[in-house]
Structure 1
Amino acid sequence: MKIIKLFVIHILLLSSFQTFAEELRITTADVLRLKTQTRRLSLLLTNTIAQIIRELLLFWVVQMPISLL
Protein backbone atom coordinates (compact mmCIF):
# COMPACT_ATOMS: atom_id res chain seq x y z
CA MET A 1 0.00 0.00 0.00
CA LYS A 2 2.86 2.34 0.83
CA ILE A 3 4.42 1.73 -2.58
CA ILE A 4 1.14 2.57 -4.31
CA LYS A 5 0.87 5.85 -2.36
CA LEU A 6 4.43 6.77 -3.27
CA PHE A 7 3.77 5.92 -6.90
CA VAL A 8 0.62 8.09 -6.98
CA ILE A 9 2.48 10.99 -5.32
CA HIS A 10 5.31 10.56 -7.81
CA ILE A 11 2.91 10.67 -10.77
CA LEU A 12 1.11 13.74 -9.40
CA LEU A 13 4.36 15.59 -8.82
CA LEU A 14 5.66 14.64 -12.23
CA SER A 15 2.51 15.86 -13.97
CA SER A 16 2.53 19.13 -12.04
CA PHE A 17 6.17 19.78 -12.98
CA GLN A 18 5.43 18.99 -16.62
CA THR A 19 2.53 21.45 -16.57
CA PHE A 20 4.77 24.09 -15.01
CA ALA A 21 7.58 23.43 -17.49
CA GLU A 22 5.20 23.66 -20.45
CA GLU A 23 4.57 27.33 -19.68
CA LEU A 24 8.31 28.06 -19.49
CA ARG A 25 9.19 26.35 -22.75
CA ILE A 26 10.94 28.57 -25.31
CA THR A 27 10.42 27.68 -28.95
CA THR A 28 12.30 28.63 -32.09
CA ALA A 29 9.45 30.97 -33.00
CA ASP A 30 9.97 32.85 -29.72
CA VAL A 31 13.66 33.32 -30.47
CA LEU A 32 12.98 34.41 -34.06
CA ARG A 33 10.34 36.87 -32.89
CA LEU A 34 12.82 38.33 -30.39
CA LYS A 35 15.50 38.65 -33.09
CA THR A 36 13.02 40.39 -35.41
CA GLN A 37 11.97 42.81 -32.67
CA THR A 38 15.61 43.53 -31.86
CA ARG A 39 16.35 44.28 -35.52
CA ARG A 40 13.34 46.59 -35.75
CA LEU A 41 14.33 48.46 -32.60
CA SER A 42 17.91 48.77 -33.82
CA LEU A 43 16.75 50.13 -37.18
CA LEU A 44 14.33 52.53 -35.49
CA LEU A 45 17.07 53.75 -33.16
CA THR A 46 19.51 54.19 -36.04
CA ASN A 47 16.94 56.15 -38.06
CA THR A 48 16.06 58.30 -35.04
CA ILE A 49 19.70 59.12 -34.34
CA ALA A 50 20.26 59.96 -38.02
CA GLN A 51 17.20 62.24 -37.99
CA ILE A 52 18.43 64.03 -34.85
CA ILE A 53 21.86 64.57 -36.42
CA ARG A 54 20.26 65.95 -39.61
CA GLU A 55 18.10 68.34 -37.60
CA LEU A 56 21.06 69.50 -35.51
CA LEU A 57 23.15 70.12 -38.63
CA LEU A 58 20.29 71.97 -40.29
CA PHE A 59 19.76 74.07 -37.16
CA TRP A 60 23.50 74.79 -36.98
CA VAL A 61 23.69 75.84 -40.66
CA VAL A 62 20.58 78.03 -40.40
CA GLN A 63 21.78 79.70 -37.19
CA MET A 64 25.36 80.19 -38.43
CA PRO A 65 26.25 83.84 -39.05
CA ILE A 66 26.75 84.68 -42.72
CA SER A 67 30.28 85.87 -42.02
CA LEU A 68 31.30 82.30 -41.14
CA LEU A 69 30.02 80.91 -44.43
Structure 2
Amino acid sequence: MSWITLRTTRFRWEAELMQQLLASHQIPARIVDLGLLPYIGSASPAALQVYPEDRWTALMLLSPLEEEIKAETEAQE
Protein backbone atom coordinates (compact mmCIF):
# COMPACT_ATOMS: atom_id res chain seq x y z
CA MET A 1 0.00 0.00 0.00
CA SER A 2 1.28 3.48 -0.80
CA TRP A 3 1.67 6.44 1.52
CA ILE A 4 1.09 10.13 0.82
CA THR A 5 2.73 13.08 2.55
CA LEU A 6 0.23 14.96 4.62
CA ARG A 7 2.50 17.55 6.23
CA THR A 8 6.15 18.48 6.37
CA THR A 9 7.73 20.17 9.33
CA ARG A 10 11.13 21.47 10.40
CA PHE A 11 10.89 19.65 13.71
CA ARG A 12 10.61 15.88 14.11
CA TRP A 13 8.95 16.26 17.52
CA GLU A 14 6.09 18.14 15.84
CA ALA A 15 5.59 15.28 13.38
CA GLU A 16 5.66 12.80 16.28
CA LEU A 17 2.98 14.78 18.09
CA MET A 18 0.76 14.74 14.98
CA GLN A 19 1.40 11.00 14.59
CA GLN A 20 0.26 10.39 18.18
CA LEU A 21 -2.92 12.38 17.60
CA LEU A 22 -3.73 10.35 14.50
CA ALA A 23 -2.94 7.09 16.31
CA SER A 24 -5.46 8.00 19.00
CA HIS A 25 -8.07 7.97 16.22
CA GLN A 26 -6.79 4.67 14.76
CA ILE A 27 -5.28 6.35 11.69
CA PRO A 28 -1.97 4.74 10.69
CA ALA A 29 0.80 7.25 10.07
CA ARG A 30 4.55 7.21 9.65
CA ILE A 31 7.33 9.75 9.86
CA VAL A 32 10.02 10.09 7.21
CA ASP A 33 13.20 12.03 7.98
CA LEU A 34 14.01 14.58 5.29
CA GLY A 35 17.68 15.22 5.73
CA LEU A 36 20.85 15.12 7.76
CA LEU A 37 20.22 18.21 9.84
CA PRO A 38 19.47 16.29 13.05
CA TYR A 39 23.09 15.15 13.10
CA ILE A 40 24.32 18.73 12.99
CA GLY A 41 22.30 19.63 16.05
CA SER A 42 19.75 21.96 14.50
CA ALA A 43 16.20 21.32 13.33
CA SER A 44 15.22 17.83 12.23
CA PRO A 45 12.96 18.11 9.15
CA ALA A 46 10.39 15.35 8.76
CA ALA A 47 7.32 14.42 6.76
CA LEU A 48 4.15 12.90 8.18
CA GLN A 49 2.60 10.34 5.86
CA VAL A 50 -0.77 8.56 5.87
CA TYR A 51 -2.61 6.16 3.60
CA PRO A 52 -4.52 7.91 0.79
CA GLU A 53 -7.91 6.78 2.11
CA ASP A 54 -7.18 8.45 5.48
CA ARG A 55 -6.04 11.76 3.99
CA TRP A 56 -9.17 13.88 4.52
CA THR A 57 -9.89 12.56 8.00
CA ALA A 58 -6.30 13.24 9.04
CA LEU A 59 -6.39 16.75 7.55
CA MET A 60 -9.57 17.52 9.47
CA LEU A 61 -8.07 16.25 12.74
CA LEU A 62 -4.87 18.28 12.29
CA SER A 63 -6.45 21.51 11.04
CA PRO A 64 -6.93 24.47 13.39
CA LEU A 65 -10.38 25.22 14.77
CA GLU A 66 -12.37 27.98 13.07
CA GLU A 67 -12.37 29.95 16.32
CA GLU A 68 -8.56 29.91 16.37
CA ILE A 69 -8.37 31.11 12.77
CA LYS A 70 -10.85 33.90 13.47
CA ALA A 71 -8.95 35.01 16.59
CA GLU A 72 -5.65 35.10 14.67
CA THR A 73 -7.23 37.12 11.85
CA GLU A 74 -8.72 39.62 14.27
CA ALA A 75 -5.41 39.95 16.13
CA GLN A 76 -3.62 40.82 12.88
CA GLU A 77 -6.08 43.59 11.99
Calculate the TM-score normalised by the size of structure 1: 0.29
More helix by share: 1
> Which has the larger Rg?
1
Higher relative contact order (CA 8 A, sep 6+): 2
